[in-house]
Amino acid sequence: MKRRSGFGWMELAIGIVLLVLGVLTFSWPELALTSLVFAYGIAAVVMGVADIILYIQVERYTGFGPMLALVSGILSVMSGVMLMVYPRTGVLVLTILFPIWFIAHCISRLAHMNHIRLVAGNGIYYFTLATNIVGLALGLLMLLNPLFTLTTIRYFASVYLILLGIDSVVTAVSRMGTRY
């Protein structure tokens, strides 16, 4: 078996993008939502590609997790492209797509919890578990109340993007030196 560094460069890049996006969203709430829709579209495409890559890496395993990563990745890429192509329409559609994206991504991560525990250890496992359970609850709340989504999306989005960014960076760094 060939030894690789195990450092998750893609995961690190995603983490940094999510952290920056989360901080920008929280720092400048007066920015028009349409200007952020494009940035969210880019983030969704990057995360979708990462989920598809995850599917390719773990497709040899059976079960629900790998297929969910593929579906989540495809949904993320489709959502991201739509947001970048139609940013004004994206503001309205975002009230439905954003919660669905939250839910799909959280379910995908929850389905891979055993892999995360194996690769990153118990601390990261519990942090990822808590982050994605909170994200799942927020996604369901936003899906059930679109007006709530429109009025609070920047706060939920910024906090959750920061948590996802931290999770991705910590997971990437914790993968240093693993064999696969």
pLDDT, residue 128, reads: 83
Residue 3 lies in a domain: no
Enumerate residues 6+ apart whose C-beta is below 8 A from 49. 73, 77
4: in domain = no
2 within domain boundaries: no
pLDDT of residue 32 exceeding 70: no
pLDDT band at 61 (very low <50, low <70, confident <90, very high): low
Cβ atoms of 94 and 137 closer than 8 Å: no
pLDDT at residue number 155: 76
pLDDT of the residue at 1: 43
Containing domain of residue 88, as a range? 9-174
- Reduced to 3 states (helix: H, G, I; strand: E, B; else coil), residue 38 is helix
Mean pLDDT value of segment 48-72? 75
d(CA 150, CA 72): 23
Distance CA 150, CA 53 (A): 32
Task: Give the pLDDT of residue 33.
Answer: 66
Residue 144 burial (10 A CB sphere; 0-12, 13-18, 19+) = exposed
Question: What is the per-residue pLDDT across 108-166, written as a single tens digit (0 to 9) for each?
Answer: 888 878 877 887 778 888 888 888 898 888 888 888 887 776 667 667 667 777 888 88
Mean confidence (pLDDT) of the chain: 77
Domain presence at residue 180: no
Residue 59 lies in a domain: yes
Token pair, residue 103, equals: 């839910």
Q: Quote the percentage of the chain above a pLDDT of 70.
A: 79
Picking from 24-33, 50-59, 100-109, which range would have the lowest pLDDT averaged per residue? Answer: 24-33
Residue 3, pLDDT above cutoff 50: no
Helix (H) or strand (E) holding 60: none
- 92 or 117: which carries more pLDDT confidence? 117
Q: Does residue 65 carry a pLDDT above 70?
A: no
Threshold 0.85, pTM exceeds: no
Q: What's the pLDDT at 2?
A: 45
Q: Which residue has the higher pLDDT, 79 or 179?
A: 79
Q: CA–CA separation, 162 vs 159, rounded Å? A: 5
List all residues 6 or more positions away from 94 whose beta carbon is below 8 Å from its beta carbon: 33, 37, 40, 83, 149, 153
Residue at 127 is within a domain: yes
- Please tell me the total count of domains within the chain: 1
In a domain, 113, yes or no: yes
